[in-house]
Structure 1
Amino acid sequence: MTNFTELFTTYSNLELLQIIDSPDRYQPLAVETAKTIWESRQLSEVDIQIAQEELANLKQEKEKQIQKRKDIGNKMEHIADTVFSPITMNPTENLGLQKIINFISVVFGVLFLIEVFKKFGMLRFVISEDQTKLDMEMILFFMPLLVVPLATILFFRRKKMGWVLLAGFLTYSVFTTARIFLLVWNMQQTGFSGNSIFPQASPVSYLLVLLFFTGNLVAICTKGIREIFFIRLKEMIMLIVLVALLSVFIN
């Protein structure tokens, strides 16, 4: 009795059939032993059919998994091509528009690095703590770390999705900053005593931030920039309205 005989005796009908069906994956002695044990079991037609159906199902499931991995790979390749493909200049893109797009891309690239530096400690804490819950407030807190770099890269690459992400982020930032500005302004005007306990930044600082976000939003919404990214006026208005409503709902 070989080692294969002792081992294969404990195998199920399906496991034996897998070896017999794939002789190129096993040693010749292993295949012959599997055939011998298979024949010695004197299986009925029903048992043989059951084993064959189980093997067919396994093959089908394996093919699905292989296809799924291929699909994921194709999607990742498509994303990589979208992000890292050479920049395609639109014929309508003059030198002035190029400078505006490049300048905005650099500005938000720098802002992303600043955000990483400011939130690095908090980010490290969230990653290290197993019991930290990612609620909506936490997601909104870290959202710029995901949206800003992706939007900046795609915007610099003249991709439509880059404009959409950046315009959405700017719209959300405009309405959020405006709300905070009005809140701080009203608190200062009413002389709320809590200001001495919880010091607030000057309304001027929020006003400057608001002007920054508004200015960039207006810049990328100009007709010349929109034409480069193939953004229609209707699409722009719809995006701004939807994000504005979302920001009001969240805040």
Structure 2
Amino acid sequence: MEDAIENIDIGGPVMVRSAAKNFKSVLIIVDPNDYGRIEELLKTNRIDLKIRQNMAAKAFAHTAFYDSQIGKFLRKDAISALELTIPGRRTIDLRYGENPHQAATFYLTPNTNSPLAKLKKMTGRDLSLINLTDINAGLESVKLFKEISAAVIKHNTPCGLALGKTSREALERAIEADPESAFGGVIVLNNPIDINAAHVLSAFKKAGRGNFDIIAAPKINSSAFEYLKDIRESMGIYVF
């Protein structure tokens, strides 16, 4: 605890806040990702009040994030806190929010153990908010089992959840639980997808039963990945 207290920065945040407060005459930069853009604007003398104000807002958000981490470290009981600031880092810019006309961004708290923190797109469509919540519902479902399991999620509701000796068997059983609702759904497995499991999705389409929007698994074998890409170009393929 003593080392942690000693490492709490006092002067740095004060200087950042002071510069941000005086944004009308000061340009404060706290994000290295802004260096290149600001450098080009400085070269052409295009730093206006709006840019300085935006950078100031970013600076205040940065110091607030820092302070919230200190508070989290020192606070043992968040439930009893009179005021609570939850820090978040932007993780994914979503395709849209709950509806197509709504913009949305996904944030995660630092050091979270959520598998969504490791979610990575391999190919296909970006995620909408509904896709993301469907993946989360699928993860929450399959993590309940030590056995190989698969979930088919539609609008945050499992329409199929099954166990199997292989990924293929679990996937077949999950889809057949309600094949009509499975159409356009999100598939999540707790086991790698191999070529045999990929064939299940192809057979579903060839039978005229439809496609799936998203498929997510801890790993997708290279042969299965190439096969899945050909089933539907826009199908999102994700690993976590």
TM-score of the superposition, structure 2-length normalised?
0.24
Higher strand proportion (structure 1 or 2) = 2
Based on CA coordinates, which of the two structures has the bigger radius of gyration?
1
**RCO higher in 1 or 2 (8 Å CA, sep ≥ 6)?**
1
**What is the TM-score normalised by the length of structure 1?**
0.24
